[in-house]
Structure 1
Amino acid sequence: MNIALLLEMAAEAAPGRTALVCDGKRWTYGDLLAAARGAFELIQQSGAEYVALLDESSEAAVIAVFGAALAGVPYCPLNYRLPDADLAALLGRIAPALVIGDEERVLRIAGDQDHTVLSREDFTLKAQETVPADDAREYDPGEGVAIQLFTSGTTAAPKAAILRHSNLLGYILGTVEFASADEADAALVVVPPYHIAGISALLSSIYAQRRIVMLPGFSPERWLSLVEEEAITNAFVVPTMLARIVDAMDRGASAAIETLRAIAYGGGKMPLEVIHKALERFPRAGFTNAYGLTETSSTVALLGPDDHRAALASSDPRIRARLTSLGKPIPTVVMEIRGENGEVLPPGEAGEIYVRGEQVSGEYKEKSALDPEGWFPTRDAGYMDEDGYLFLSGRADDVIVRGGENMSPGEIEDVLLTHPAIADACAYAIPSVEWGEAVGVAVVTREDHVAPDEGELRELVRARLRSSRVPEKIAFLPELPYNEMGKLLRRKVKDVLAG
């Protein structure tokens, strides 16, 4: 099966229903399907082996996803925030491609790579004007690669993560009911198009026949305005976005938000203070924490709305702690926590998170990361409690190993964030002659507080955790580095402080 079937089914069931709104333009499901079929013709004529997008979210991204799927060519959205040299290298790895978006930049940095380059406007117009040459034309059956996404490549060259049609359909068909959205339902999408969360949000809403409202460049004020203007019912944000939205509301930004009944978040760690405030600011909305990876076609665990409200209202520390969890695995995947030797760990013991299921690709163009039984090692460290709730400790590579004892940076950060003067914290490994590794922390002080004494912070950690967790080095920074999805760039903190 081909992922384009999702759009074909939606267009056949309700061709005149509004499918997409972007920059004031509206597209019906019938419009999008016709444009996707026109894009198929453009792709065939170009001889491209990939369809790349170098642009913000727009109708061109939607048309390109399904046009590429119909043509049997991998869709490869690129991070337009990358430096020229890095971007040129990625373009070289997918040549020859039909590249949509920043025409001037592509020709300047990769003009010798034999790409066909079209601006967003030209691609969209040509796709609309191009009529399939044969009404009986056969499209790709969807047995190959649908999406190729380059990993962030923080320590090495980016890997090309492969998602096949079967992986993406395994996720959508297992989690979304066809045509389940009312005609008034609208999803606000602000995630960059090169992130799996943006792609899965698009596919999910298309299959549910929900109206998609795109916000290419995020600002909390514009986000709130669109909620009111388009009567948004569903939204997905990353933690840093939600923090900015709540802060804007605290500073007086307002909008009619009564229609907003579902807010999902993911992509990074959600500070407790932010989710507490958000639950108060959006009392009618159900919050969902979604945990997933590119290699798993998006979400593999969910903390649902009932869990959020129950945790907020409870006086039981065990239940309140669930606000910091990722919830439980979704029904379509199996999850295990494994130790260093591959053994399955009991509840409460931290190890590496492994997942398996039809939606799990675990595949790169370079090689597959699946073990013989189909399990994918996420490289995320975490544990599951006795009730099956998943708690994330950080990346497995970020674990601090002090004298043979594994320590989670997350547990140290959580303690530091209980201090009223600390706005943000990052724990990381520093070299130690005696222990091999020791704990270093970088903290950000709140604007309206005086920086606490280092001894005070060490005593706070000692009182809550074992003495081995007490930081040997404490650095005060004006801010911590995050990527656009709200993930803390821990290694960048280490590099800055080492320099």
Structure 2
Amino acid sequence: MIPCIFDITAKRAQLAGGDIAMEEVGTGRTVTYAGLDERADRAAALLADCGVGEGDRVAILCRNRIEFFEILFACAKIGAILVPLNWRMPAAEIRPLLADCAPKLLFWGAEDAEVAAQLSADIPLSLALDGDYAARRDDSPRHAGRGTWSAAGIWYLLYTSGTTGQPKAVIYTFTMAMVNFINISQPVGLTGRDTTLNFLPLFHTAGINLHTLPTLIAGGRVLIMPGFDVDVMLDLVAAGRVDAIFGVPAIYQSLSLHPRFAEVDLTRLRSWGCGGAPLSDMLVQRFLERGVRVCNGMGMTETGPTAFIMDPNRVAEKVGSVGKPQILCGVRIVGPDGEDVQPGQAGELWFGGPGVTPGYWNHPEATAAAFSPDGWLRSGDLARADEDGYYYVVGRIKEMFISGGENVYPAEVENVLTRHPAILEAAVIGVADATWGEVGQAHILPRPGHAPPSPDDLTRFCRERLAAFKVPKRFIIVTDFPRTAAGKVQKHRL
């Protein structure tokens, strides 16, 4: 028998169909698990009526809303492949992605009507989520669907955020969804009694998988915000309405700067997770002072995404660690020779296990390059493990530079710079230098209400905390950084 997964919404409807599955915070709209299954069935019938069949791609361009997830499950029911599109991109950037995945149908939300109109010639059919879609869905019969979904089958494609260039579509299988459910629900303690918050963009793996899809698999409740709103989030936390969240560092930065940060009882929210980019030591300490243990984690779009997450009981002791590999994630730290490094040494992180993507859509060469001959995924991230088995990500291989023959890891320098009271965020890159080969160039985002520090001040500050070869030779004050949807600084654009 081919390994399979049973229809998730149908199972949840059988187990507890009357329970609320999703609630839109802004509108108050809710849907039960039975209602979600019915809507997904009817959406599946609509897709079939539009000529969408097994293996066909369906694009969607929208902000966070219930309809996204009913369409995600509808695709699973008929074997179609969902392709979430980045609504931050102009039509000119989206067109190459459409050419790559060739969708038969585009769903779009009202906020993205202008871009959708510009793309109308690139896709055979498009439907407005706020117009034709809802009416046609409700008029459609319930589709019988596939009772089982092949574990290795493709569910959706996620185009990588492109910190270094043209995005590629990461293939997501049904197995990856279930592995991520296990890898995140175990350390977080996620159950059907929990309520989680969905606000990260749905074209990013965290928007789908941290923690929304695992919560729906577990039978909990998902509160949906169209996007991040710090005031609304603090209101929900203060009311004790949320049990577990996942955010990127920019979210935690925004919360820490809010006037109500010192007033709201943050401990009413049980689990605080962070990933997508390193959370600075200073932010970890700031939340610890408020009684909150923010658990750094690490994963990739290609790993489903959950690979590491920090043990909350060791956050204060192991500041900066992303924790240990989770139960269904295999990890190696490998040197340039392809051999595992000794404990304490830095090397490239390699991933293995059932949660790793089978590859990139339509890119066999990129897929082959991403994996070692024996099947380990090369992450491009540099990491080390301490004597207790806790892992620390020290940077990207491509970001590391060599100054005077010494390796410099920008993440280490950035962590020091953010300890300066006048610095909110820093990004360090290597630039050519006639004497040393390369030197550090630090881009500095000042903390609100503080004057930008001088280069001499920053040099002294760094020299007291870093070896001389690690101290940046140039400091540039910026008003913001170019970022991906996950909040990562796009260093190739600095």
TM-score by length of 2: 0.89
The partner residue of 2:20 within 18, 21, 29 is 18
What residue number does 1:266 align with?
275
| Deviation, structure 1 residue 266 | 1.4
Task: Please give the alpha-carbon distance, in whole angstroms, between the structure 2 residues aligned to 1:136 and 1:350.
Answer: 49
Note the C-alpha offset of 1:86: 0.3
Say if 1:206 and 1:426 are closer, same or farther in 2 by CA, change over 3 A: same
Q: Closer, same or farther in 2 for the Cα pair 1:347/1:489, shift >3 Å? A: same
Question: SS of the counterpart of 2:381?
Answer: strand
Q: Aligned runs of 1:67-106 on 2, under 5 Å? A: 67-102=74-109, 104-105=113-114
Taking a change above 3 Å as real, the CA distance of residues 344 and 124 of structure 1, as seen in their structure-2 partners, is: farther
Taking the TM superposition and a 5 Å limit, the aligned residue runs for 1:377-396 are 377-396=378-397
Is this contact kept in 2: 1:6–1:203, CA < 8 A? no
Contact 2:272-2:295 at 8 Å conserved across structures: yes
Q: Do residues 192 (structure 1) and 194 (structure 2) align?
A: no
Equivalent position of 1:340 in the other structure: 336
Question: Cα offset for 1:260?
Answer: 1.8
Q: 1:447 to 1:163 in 2, by over 3 A?
A: closer
Partner amino acid for 1:45? D
Structure 2 counterparts to residues 424-463 of structure 1, below 5 A: 424-463=425-464
SS in 1 for 2:485: coil
Gaps of 5+ in 2: none
The equivalent residue for 1:324 is: 320
Change (3 A) 1:63 1:477: same
Note the C-alpha offset of 1:299.
0.9
Q: 1:223 to 1:125 in 2, by over 3 A?
A: farther
Please list, as runs of the form range in 1=range in 2, the aligned pairs for 1:17-416 lying within 5 A after superposition: 17-22=19-24, 23-48=27-52, 49-102=56-109, 104-105=113-114, 107-121=116-130, 122-132=132-142, 135=144, 140-173=149-182, 175-176=184-185, 185-200=194-209, 201-228=211-238, 231-250=241-260, 259-281=268-290, 283=291, 287-308=294-315, 311=316, 319=317, 322-361=318-357, 363-365=359-361, 366-367=363-364, 368=367, 369-416=370-417
Contact 2:81 2:155 in 1 (8 A): yes
Q: Is the 8 A contact 1:176 1:207 kept in 2?
A: no
Distance of aligned partners of 1:410 and 1:16 in 2 relative to their CA distance in 1, 3 Å threshold: same
Deviations 1:336-388 (A, max 9, x none): 11122222111221121111111011511112222232210111122111111
- Alpha-carbon deviations, 1:160-199, whole Å to 9, x = none? 111122222233245547xx86665311111111111121
CA deviation digits over 1:428-458, x for unaligned, max 9? 1101223332211122333444443423322
In 2 relative to 1, CA 228–460 (structure 1 residues): closer, same or farther, beyond 3 Å?
Answer: closer
2: distance between equivalents of 1:156 and 1:485? 15
Cα distance in 2, alignment partners of residues 203 and 27 from structure 1 = 15
CA shift in 2, pair 1:137/1:291, >3 Å: closer
Amino acid in the other structure paired with 2:62:
D
Does the 8 Å contact 2:192/2:215 carry over to 1? Answer: no
- Paired residues in the alignment total 476
Cα distance in 2 for residues equivalent to 1:218 and 1:2 = 35
> What RMSD over aligned residues (CA atoms) do the two structures have, in Å?
2.5
Aligned to 1:496: none
Cα distance, 1:67 vs structure 2: 0.7
The CA deviation at 1:255 is 5.5
1:13-33 Cα distance to aligned partner (Å, 9 max, x none):
100000000131010000111
Query: Which one-letter code corresponds to 2:213 in the other structure?
Result: L
In 2, Cα distance between equivalents of 1:412 and 1:139: 50
User: What is the CA–CA distance in structure 2 between the aligned matches of 1:271 and 1:140, rounded to whole Å?
Assistant: 41
| Counterpart code for 1:454 | P
Q: Deviations over 1:89-118 (max 9, x none)?
A: 222323233211147335532222243211
The verdict on how the C-alpha distance between 1:127 and 1:81 changes in structure 2, with shifts beyond 3 A counting, is: same
Cross-structure match for 1:316: none
Q: Distance in 2 between matches of 1:84 and 1:114?
A: 12
Deviations 1:29-76 (A, max 9, x none): 001111111121122222232121100110111111111111111111
Cα distance in 2 for residues equivalent to 1:223 and 1:2: 37
Report the TM-score, using the length of structure 1 for normalisation.
Answer: 0.88
List runs of 5+ in structure 1 lacking aligned partners. Answer: 312-318, 494-499
Give the C-alpha shift of residue 149 in structure 1.
0.7
Aligned partners of 1:292 and 1:28: how far apart in 2? 31
- Paired amino acid for 2:461: L
Distance 1:202 1:212 in 2: 6
